[in-house]
Chain A
Amino acid sequence: MFGYEFYVDPSRCIGCRSCMQACEECETHRGKSMINFDFIERRESISSAAYVCWHCDEPTCAQVCPADAIKKGEDGIVQSSLKPRCIACNNCVLACPFGIPKMMEAEQQMMKCDMCYDRTSVGKKPMCATVCPSQALAYVRPEEIASRREKPTNIFYFGNQKITTKVYMMTPSEREGIALDVMDYMWEERHELVATRE
């Protein structure tokens, strides 16, 4: 849908798994959920997180695919593997820094979130973001997301790999990028600080 973007905000997630139940109802893959969901550490806290594919500008999954089965469209959506090409080698599953691709053993095919291509292409919102009761998954216009406490970013650092994505992560407003590894915050003579802003 023109003018709409996908935003993920784990701090809003209530762990209800409505997104998973609804994803499983999508017609192109009915019966299978493409959502990634975790309780972060249930013993310690109630915190949970649901997320979709981030649809990288330069998708690692496609880069490592030996069969050239993973395509990104002009709209920025990274699709599930092409069935005739996919050799179910799991390279993409292992390489994706976000842990998104799912190997469907029965089909011998990698499948993943395609941001409800069937829905967005006909003017509907993705299913998960439509139903999400806490709007931890939201498909809205940028001006709408601007009224939130948290601010969007689409820059992620994994070690020396910097990834920019189509989908945005909501972060505390003082942050611009997301770095996950302590290494990202360390000063080393040989490297510039990768987590420093551009």
Chain B
Amino acid sequence: MAKAPVSEEILKEKFGPHLNYVPHGGWKDESSHPAEKLVKTHCCFCGQQCGIQLKVRENRVIGFEPWEEFPFNRGMLCPKGVKRYLQGNHPDRLLSPLMRSEKGFRPAGWDEALSFTAGRMREIQETHGKDAIAIFGGASLSTEKSYLMGKFARVALGTRHIDYNGRLCMVSAGTAYKLAFGIDRSTIPWSEIPKAEVLFVIGANIGDCAPITTDYVWRCRDNGGKLIVADPRMTPITRNADLYLPLRPGTDLALLMGMLHVILRDGLEDREFIEQYTTGFEAVAESAKQWDLRKVAEMTGVPPEAIEKAARWIGKSKRVIMMHARGLEHQSKGVENCLAVINIALVTGNIGREGAGPTMITGQGNGQGGREHGQKCDQLPGQRSLTDPAAREYVAGVWGIPPEELPQPGYTAQEIMEAIHRGEIKGLLSTCFNPLVSLPDANFTREALSKLEFFGVIDFFLSETAHHADVVLAGSLHEEEDGLGCSAEGRVIHWQKSVDPPGDARCDSDIIIELAHRLGRGQYFPFKNPADILEELRIASRGGIADYYGITYERVDAEMGIFWPCPTLDHPGTPRLFVDRKFYTHDEKAHFNVTEWRPSGDPVSDDYPLFLTTGRVVSQYLSGTQTRRIGALVDQNPEPRAEIHPRLAEQHGINDGDWITLTTRRDDLTIRAMVVKTIRPDTVFMPYHWAGTRSANRLTHRTLDPRSKIPEFKVSACRIVRANGPDPSEDDRAAHHNDASRGDS
């Protein structure tokens, strides 16, 4: 049984989230006890992976100093980066393994916790088969750890089912880029952005979710570039947009097809590029004919003239960068949407050239590196396919097992949760993932977790999901283990170990390796440290698409990062892809793909007449496991607010700050309204970083893109009504916020 052992209140009292406001020793301590060293590393949060220096004294992180020499961010940091150091020395930090007890959780020794974990997994596999255990990984893990997770699942456990929380992030873009180009990576380094003549940003709230990219966007405008923003909300970068396209949620594909229609209608395509370097153009051109502007305007709510203008700016320029993120990708046609962006880039020849290319903005810390080396359910190291016989043979050879022992592809993250719910998967080991907050339809997720016969978690804080665990293995923070990451640009970077894990907490990779030993497969995991894992990863990825063979910690440090592919030790890396117009497909050509319109999996109706769309705020990160514990970040956004337009607010008699109840076909919840003219009147926005009664994912639905299996977080149907306030039993941390905790300690 994996229900929470005691009430949420008791668990929160003990394990938080509590708010940490001040560094170890208090604000003034550093004046008398200065840092002993500055460690050059990276932010632990989003895919920008900003360079930062951590101040360290007596094996503790006590502050930060900007790292101006690191070329991507040149010292710049968002508020999360500035305050990231406060997750160290945090009162909620797990300092030893925990075992479920009648009173909640009790501290346990490593031997007991590891024996229990390995024993339960083995029992379940012996009774129900190897695939009865699933593994969840995450994109905040280093690339070495991500590699290790994939190998652990397939070699130590022999289960088909391993997937990761990047399934909620990058998979629509990844699937589309693989289909079109044979490679899943941004096509450009960010240094190309200021060189574009036209910057088209669709479904990407750059200001809040990729803040450092803003500087690149503004520099593009300084150089005379035009900025087009397509979004149901005016996000911060919209303030300087030359053209704003306020599209209806879920209609991105129609908008993009309308733009393609105009480009072809006006003869703005690059015939020479299409003929020499691509396949499949005719079918896509044929499919664009039906998307006339009148129809597109009606579907998207964007004026025909604006669509025409955007299409012509793009069609007439040879330096167009098209950037997209989760707004485009978190849809049941997320892959189609990305393919439609790629089709426009291909039809205008905007790829492989300076200041040109379609690109995804990877959202999670190691969202890029974490999706390259086998943590995905269908993938082997080097972005190889688990179904490719040659890839299976090569990787099995590196691992020293017969290829037939390698399992076939398993379920994706949401599919694993569904399989748990229907009883097919009985046990789960999860690290770096908080599915109760981050998967759609949270009530369903909670039901599923309660059905698990065994649930083990590796984490540094007790997340809401971990409340349901049988055993929690106290793992490590970003700054507590060496490793590689890969940023949104495709730049491989080095996370330097700054301090040791505190108390009895251990490095994540040590925990996984020890479990492999206890499962009797230790001979395949002879690693003593992350460097040993990297050595094997380099070989396992060699010859693959994400080829890391030429990458070492020393090179990364000396060169301020290396863009993969990097096949040899003297290879300079590959900042811009396709410079020679050769693609990573079997015929080395870029492939047009016909896209198919499908309605949303949760359509608006008379009962649910509004669109609900979810996303981030700048001061919080993902499920909030880390950022909801940092006082200054919580103060910036103490609670989720529902953004609605004054016209909608007036219809319902709602004023700014009033409580409103949002209801979808799954559930309802009550939060405060934020009445702003910066959102479409038919749309409600809610950020998703919070848990429990304020969890946006209680409202979202489980429809997946059929290819990428990404949930449709960006389009749900809802209705709203003014409310008197939340249920009195509801958790309202803002109300309990104790200002006294801000003072010096």
Contacts and interface: CB of A to CB of B under 8 A. Distances in A.
Nearest to A127: B66
A132 B236 CA distance: 14
Contact of B212 (A25, A30, A42, A133): A133
Nearest to A12: B218
Contacts of B28: 30
Given A30-B30, A42-B676, A148-B222, A25 B78 contact: no
B636 interface: yes
Interface stretch (B237-245, B333-341, B388-396, B719-727): B237-245
Given A42-B676, A46-B678, A148-B222, A130 B66 contact: yes
B661 interface: no
Contact of B239 (A16, A43, A46): A46
A133 B222 contact: no
B525 interface: no
Contacts of A17: 79, 618-619, 636
Given A17-B619, A21-B632, A46-B236, A133 B63 contact: no
A16 B234 contact: no
Contact of B211 (A16, A47, A130, A148): A16
A147 B222 CA distance: 7
Nearest to A11: B240
Given A14-B236, A21-B632, A24-B632, A134 B676 contact: no
Contacts of B619: 16-17
Nearest to B21: A31
A125 interface: yes
A131 B75 contact: yes
Nearest to B22: A31
A133 B77 contact: yes
Given A14-B214, A134-B215, A147-B222, A46 B238 contact: yes
B27 A31 contact: yes
Interface string A120-139: 00000101001111110000
Contact of A18 (B27, B77, B237): B77
Given A14-B236, A24-B632, A43 B656 contact: yes
Nearest to B48: A133
A27 interface: yes
B744 interface: yes
Interface in A1-47: 11-12, 14-18, 20-22, 24-25, 27, 30-31, 42-47
Contacts of A31: 22, 27, 742, 744
A31 B674 CA distance: 29
A149 interface: yes
Contacts of B63: 25
B76 A133 contact: yes
Given A14-B237, A30-B28, A134 B211 contact: yes
A11 B239 contact: yes
A46 B234 contact: yes
Interface in A35-63: 42-48
A27 B31 contact: yes
A99 B222 CA distance: 30
Interface string B7-30: 000000000000000100001101
B64 interface: yes
Name the residue among B22, B76, B234, B675 with the largest chain A CB count within 10 angstroms: B76
Contacts of A12: 214, 218, 240
A132 B81 CA distance: 11
Contact of B207 (A15, A27, A30, A148): A15
A135 B218 contact: yes
B325 to A, nearest CB: 15
A22 B27 contact: no
Nearest to A9: B218
Contacts of A30: 27-28, 30
Nearest to A145: B222
Interface in B651-691: 656, 674-678
A21 B636 CA distance: 10
Nearest to A30: B27
Nearest to B674: A42
B68 interface: yes
Contact of B66 (A15, A27, A131): A131
Nearest to A23: B82
A43 B77 contact: no
B79 to A, nearest CB: 4
Contacts of B31: 27
A4 to B, nearest CB: 13
A130 B677 contact: no
Contacts of A48: 236
Nearest to A33: B632
A172 to B, nearest CB: 12
Q: Which of A20, A127, A132, A147 has the most CB of B within 10 A?
A: A132
Contact of B79 (A18, A46, A130): A18
A18 B78 contact: yes
A3 B585 CA distance: 51
A31 B742 CA distance: 9
Given A24-B632, A25-B82, A47-B239, A135 B208 contact: no
B83 interface: yes
Nearest to A42: B676
B470 to A, nearest CB: 38
B235 interface: yes
Contacts of A135: 76, 215, 218
Contact of A25 (B64, B236, B677): B64
A131 B744 contact: no
Given A11-B240, A24-B632, A45-B239, A133 B678 contact: no
Top 8 closest A-B pairs, CB basis?
A: A14-B207, A14-B236, A133-B211, A31-B27, A134-B214, A30-B27, A21-B79, A21-B82
Given A131-B81, A133-B73, 9 more contacts: A16-B208, A21-B633, A22-B77, A43-B646, A46-B235, A46-B238, A130-B76, A133-B211, A133-B214
Interface of B: 22, 27-28, 30-31, 63-64, 66, 68, 73, 75-79, 81-83, 207-208, 211-212, 214-215, 218, 221-223, 234-240, 618-619, 632-633, 636, 646, 656, 674-678, 742, 744
Interface of A: 11-12, 14-18, 20-22, 24-25, 27, 30-31, 42-48, 125, 127, 130-135, 147-149
14 contacts: A14-B211, A16-B79, A17-B618, A18-B82, A25-B64, A25-B82, A31-B22, A44-B677, A46-B239, A130-B66, A131-B77, A132-B76, A134-B214, A135-B215
